[in-house]
A and B are shown apart, each in its own frame.
Chain A
Amino acid sequence: MNFVDPMEPDKLLGAFRVASGIKDAVVIVHAPVGCHWGVNFIERLSYGKTNSTLSALRERSVIFGGHEHLEKSIRIIFRRKKRKYLIILAASVSSIIGDDIEGITESAISGMSYIILDCGGYMGRMMNGYEECLDKLSVWIEKDNKWNANRFRYLVNIIGLQRDMPMGEANIKEIKRMLKLLGIKVNSIFPPLSIKEIKNAAKADLNIVFYYGRGLAEIMKQRYGIPYIFFDEYPYGLLICEKFLKRVSEYFEINKKKVDKIINREKSKVLDALKPARIYFHTLYNISTLVSGDLAQVKGISHFLSKEIGCRIKLINITSSSPNVQVNIEDLSDISEKLLFQVSMHEFEENIQDIDIIFGSEIERKISKKTNIPIIPFSYPILSKLSLNGIPYMGFKGVLGLFEQIINTIIW
């Protein structure tokens, strides 16, 4: 078909997702009102507050250029000079008319640090923007000599875990807890919450990349000599968590026996807690399952559901993937009867048949409502769910969180 009913937005939202959570920077969407409205709408409902505003381009800007609007916006934002960091996301209109954004920014105000990203909607999909924005943040990383006697022994950055997806913050907390069990401290997380987090990133000994942000990790490797290890799936379930901890501990050459002991202790805690719910494994065994989301999410959860719970994965729908990593979905073909990759919504809907449970996002929620198939919200975007109590879906504790959510959704 010669049309797309999109399941993945464009570059602008990807970049906005990375930039809009950095509390001491301001994001200007250099665009007409609607472009900012769209990304802001999604992020406010997915994550909460955003640090963004806009240059509100109008018809005259298309003819005479958007410099006046951008300049005025910058002056308003920085009039009290409390902030020093600016991220400009140029959407389709400014991208086409070719505003000299750098020149405008320089002339608007001095002594400010800024990043400019060309995010024309026609220039790429969400994860292009996500990756490019992560790469660009590297300009604010400050060099570190690492000679500090009080410094933590093993310091790592985590790159690529999405904060604005369901249980995002809780997931990050759980991964930090797991690393702490090995004596590893998390230094910075990307996408970051503060400029300080970016500045300090070069202090780390290692970057742990969860699929997204490989470009940033490469930059840090070249610029600061920080190596990285790469995971192509998010850590859902006991098996992937074990694999994750072992690989990180191997890098730091942490005593293997000690690591095994920690992992076994964590696993047995989870298994003990799961014991009362054991009867429900019967219910989930061979249950016809649809998984839809971005590649890292889908890979991690599908492996967990298939290998550890015994679900029959009938359909996997990958809505987005990183442009920095060659797509490898062979292993998914082994566990799913059907695999769709970046298809239009109408094509996706055509393939939904005999499904008992859906793992997806707000998009699949519509299908769930229409068909009465229960849904577990786990991928981006989710605009209709709060997660205040810090229960993760990832990591060891996430096994309990996820299992509880699945069972409660089905039996209620």
Chain B
Amino acid sequence: MEITKDIWGTKLSYACRYSLDCKMFGAYCYISEISNAIPLLHGPVGCAFFPKFVPPDAIRTQFLKLYEPPPFPCTDLNERDVIYGAEDKLFKAIIDIDKYYKPDLIGVVVSCPAAIIGDDIVSVVNKAKQAIHADIVYTPSSAGFSDDERVEDFNRHAEDLITVWKNRDKKPKWGIEKCGRLDTLYSLITQLLKESKEKIKNSVNLDTYGRFHWFEDLVGEIKEIKSIFKEIGISVNTVFPGCSVQDIKNMTKAELNFMRRSEKSAIFMKEKFGMDYIFDTFGNKYVGIDGAKSFYLDIAERFGLRDKAKKIVKDKEIFLWRDLKDIKQELQGKEIAYVCTPLYTTPVFIRLLESLGLSIRLILINTLWWRRWGMSKYTSNKLIKEFIDSLNINSSPIIYNDLYIDEELSIIKQRNIDLVICDVLVSDISRTMFYENNGIRSISPHYMGYSSFRISFSQVKKLAQIILHAFNSNLPKKDLIYFKYAYHKERFPTLISDISDELRWERIMKYVWRGNKK
């Protein structure tokens, strides 16, 4: 399975280069994360053809143990339908899908043509409800042209995150509510949930996410949370998605929602069912050991269990450090370089590395990924400054910004670094290969199963083990074929031969899609 996941990731990143998926696909993905749910596209065959070839979501594989995406039937809109409408066609398709697949849920996904011609989807769905066994929802704004958050200004996103670094309770202005997945989550919540007569005392619903992060231990995180909650006296009611339709319907039995992405959904549940909520900001609120502790204390406080939780999480931390004692001893004083993209990497993570005994000698900050997504030079400079100001570490690293890859190598070589930890989003594996090809030990913890954004004590142990393993492994000499092709030094690992495609793509995104002025 590990190799399969690697291949999925490789194929996906290659195939999606210089292109961008749409909200319709996001809706399909989210429905695929609910057990025995069938997405039904109200649209032409083309839109329903491609998603089947995309590897299944991490939630689907890890929680539902399904290793293929679901079928994606459609209403097969034709020219006549576009002129005269296709409500009847949709109704009949719903009825037949209910009969044929016997699903627990049908998710009607609206395509661009269906949205433009203005079929009354709500009426069709309401009418069909009476005639089918499955539950049914529809996604009103999943048309591919509907605006999503990615068209918005990433500079604002950066500003938000800088604020969160300083005060984790600050609310962001920027959000991903318009993402096709979250739109679908909102549809599920608003269309399926009913007031529950029965309430489970001290219970919480947990929002999880995975997208295509097959390398993360999503199930492990939830397992750990459930176990610690149990000790505190809190029960987990529904973990969503990666659950059944009934689990979603049961959500109103809980007293509290822990939401990580859609505050809009949380607000809906609060207003309609009186369910309180805690909203994590971009997964930044509960990062690292202190973050995990805060998570349990914040939740426990809502149930009046803070004191009990305090003792339990303190014990967890003590046990963790006891477990890490030997590893920490071995890592003590080892000198590392950390190559990172701020925002994705938080200062908390760097402090965590230091707490494992590592001495951080170099920090190489790379903002290329963000700039490629439209972040201005001004914001990226501000980001670097704020990042450095928020570090608060004992090591005194030398810090460089946006070096070319050969400059990175030369500086790392000069400093006799023991290990390079790469954390630059898209090119981590290439970077690791690059350094090891040049005789420098290197790892990318995220691609080895560690995730800094998961709320977990055990993930810290895993990180320490990954780092220790890297030090104890052989580093045979390499002369990798991978580097026999001319790559662009600033935009590593993009090949020189692909650079014009990359620049063209970025210009189209910036000036056409986002509509920035030159």
Which one of B29-37, B295-303, B382-390, B502-510 is at the A interface? B502-510
A137 to chain B, nearest CB (A): 21
B50: A residues at CB distance < 8 A: 9, 37-39, 41-42
Fill in one digit per residue for B301-329: 1 if any A CB lies within 8 Å of its CB, else 0: 00000000000000000000000000000
B20 (CB) vs chain A CBs: closest residue: A33
Chain A interface extent, by class: 35 or more
> Is B117 in contact with chain A by the CB < 8 A criterion?
yes
B25 (CB) vs chain A CBs: closest residue: A34
Interface centre among B24, B92, B111, B113 (most CB of A within 10 A): B113
A92: B residues at CB distance < 8 A: 44, 46, 111-113
A55: B residues at CB distance < 8 A: 512
Chain B interface extent, by class: 35 or more
The B interface, classified by DSSP as helix, strand, loop or mixed, is helix
> Is A149 in contact with chain B by the CB < 8 A criterion?
no
B57 to chain A, nearest CB (A): 16
Q: Please measure, in the bound complex, the distance between the C-alpha atom of A43 and the C-alpha atom of B325, giving whole angstroms.
A: 52
A346 (CB) vs chain B CBs: closest residue: B100
A5: B residues at CB distance < 8 A: 48, 71-74
Given A59-B145, A122-B77: A37 and B46 within 8 A (CB)?
no
Fill in one digit per residue for A36-58: 1 if any B CB lies within 8 Å of its CB, else 0: 11111110110001000111111
Q: Is B20's CB under 8 angstroms from A121's CB?
A: no
> Is A72 in contact with chain B by the CB < 8 A criterion?
yes
Q: Is B45's CB under 8 angstroms from A4's CB?
A: yes
> Is A299 in contact with chain B by the CB < 8 A criterion?
no
A78 to chain B, nearest CB (A): 11
> Is A125 in contact with chain B by the CB < 8 A criterion?
yes
A125: B residues at CB distance < 8 A: 45
> Is B242 in contact with chain A by the CB < 8 A criterion?
no
Q: Is B22's CB under 8 angstroms from A53's CB?
A: no
B82 (CB) vs chain A CBs: closest residue: A122
> Is B75 in contact with chain A by the CB < 8 A criterion?
yes
Fill in one digit per residue for A1-37: 1 if any B CB lies within 8 Å of its CB, else 0: 1111110111111000000000000000001111111
Q: Is B507's CB under 8 angstroms from A121's CB?
A: no
A369: B residues at CB distance < 8 A: 68
Q: Is A54's CB under 8 angstroms from B19's CB?
A: yes
> Is A381 in contact with chain B by the CB < 8 A criterion?
yes
Q: Is B46's CB under 8 angstroms from A2's CB?
A: no
A69: B residues at CB distance < 8 A: 512-513
Query: Restricting to B1-50, which residues have a CB under 8 Å from any CB of A?
Result: 11, 14-25, 40, 43-50
In the complex, the 10 A-B pairs of residues with the closest C-beta atoms, listed nearest first: A34-B22, A10-B46, A121-B44, A38-B50, A2-B92, A56-B513, A34-B144, A6-B45, A9-B49, A121-B46
* Given A10-B46, A38-B47, 15 more pairs with CB closer than 8 A: A3-B73, A6-B48, A6-B49, A6-B74, A10-B49, A33-B21, A37-B19, A37-B22, A37-B25, A41-B15, A42-B50, A56-B512, A58-B145, A93-B144, A123-B78
